[in-house]
């Protein structure tokens, strides 16, 4: 990889605030621009598979890319078609979710999901939805989602996860994205999502998930990777162990409905 490509790729793999959908879009654009200049493309794909092990959609993309690269049939058409496929998926998800969301005037979400972004942005053209976003500590991805949706003049309240109970009680539903949908129907998403699902069960509110079908996995398990403790507390007093995990599992029994393409 040349220096420019290395810088661009490093920016993608160091991105800890974008959801898996946005990361895949960025990775596809990177490959479209630089893949044919990579000296050892299969090694690059395998390294990327290892780095993005938590994201089912990216794994499927890389498996497909690896297969086509091995067969020497890869062309720029692959990357263009993937972009169109992604855009079509968001349209279909919204179409499937609309009958359930059309009359929801107050929706709560967490983190920074591209699928949630596309769904809410389209929903705002149908009704005057007010959105509450949990800021999603420790990386504050919710702030990024709030900033992006605010450009579409959507009414937004930004809250901490600790404030969620009262807002779930008052909202019409909770809507989250997903990083993985496991074989047993359980969903893996950003930490804080399970809390919202439990609150929805308590307050008898719908708990919806929006996700591309590429998020579906044949596995029933996830591998948790502990992240840097400094993201929560730099230089804590001696004797305090800092725990930092990004993802958690939401049982299928707590999910009202999953909307996909």
C-alpha to C-alpha distance for 130 and 108, rounded to whole angstroms: 9
Burial of residue 14 (number of CB atoms within 10 Å: 0-12, 13-18, 19+): exposed
C-alpha to C-alpha distance for 62 and 243, rounded to whole angstroms: 30
Q: Which residues contact 34 (CB under 8 A, 6 or more apart)?
A: 1, 2, 5, 8, 9
- Angle, in degrees to the nearest 10, between helices 76-101 and 56-70: 150
Nearest to 110 by CA among 163, 69, 73, 155: 163
138 preceded by a cis bond (ω within 30 of 0): yes
Is 157 tagged catalytic? Answer: no
Q: What are phi and psi of 67, to 5 degrees?
A: -65, -45
Which residue among the candidates 15, 37, 157, 179 is catalytic per the annotation? Answer: 179
Would you say 129 and 107 are in contact if contact means Cβ atoms under 8 Å apart? Answer: yes
Structure tokens at 169: 């009680």
- Angle, in degrees to the nearest 10, between helices 41-51 and 56-70: 170
C-alpha 196: how far from its chain's center? 16
Known catalytic residues are 179
């Amino acid at each position: 990889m040349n220096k420019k490509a290395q810088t661009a790729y490093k920016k993608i793999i160091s991105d800890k605030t974008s959801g898996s959908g946005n990361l895949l879009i960025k990775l596809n654009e990177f490959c479209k621009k630089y893949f044919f200049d990579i000296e050892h493309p299969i090694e690059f794909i395998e390294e990327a598979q290892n780095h993005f092990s938590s994201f089912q959609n990216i794994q499927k993309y890389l498996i497909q890319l690896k297969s086509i690269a091995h067969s020497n049939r890869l062309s720029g058409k692959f990357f263009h078609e993937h972009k169109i496929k992604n855009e079509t998926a968001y349209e279909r998800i919204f179409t499937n979710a609309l009958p359930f969301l059309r009359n929801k005037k107050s929706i709560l979400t967490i983190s920074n999901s591209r699928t949630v972004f596309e769904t809410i942005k389209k929903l705002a053209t149908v009704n005057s939805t007010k959105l509450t976003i949990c800021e999603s500590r420790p990386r504050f991805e919710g702030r990024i989602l709030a900033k992006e949706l605010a450009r579409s003049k959507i009414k937004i309240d930004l809250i901490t996860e600790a404030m969620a109970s009262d807002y779930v009680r008052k909202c019409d539903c909770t809507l989250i994205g997903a990083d993985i949908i496991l074989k047993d129907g359980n969903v893996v998403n950003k930490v804080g999502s399970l809390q919202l699902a439990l609150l929805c069960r308590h307050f008898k509110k719908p708990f919806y998930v929006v996700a591309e079908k590429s998020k579906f996995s044949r596995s029933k398990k996830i591998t948790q990777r502990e992240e840097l403790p400094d993201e929560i507390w730099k230089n804590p007093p001696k004797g305090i162990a800092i725990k930092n995990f990004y993802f958690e599992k939401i049982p299928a029994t707590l999910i009202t409905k999953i909307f996909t393409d």
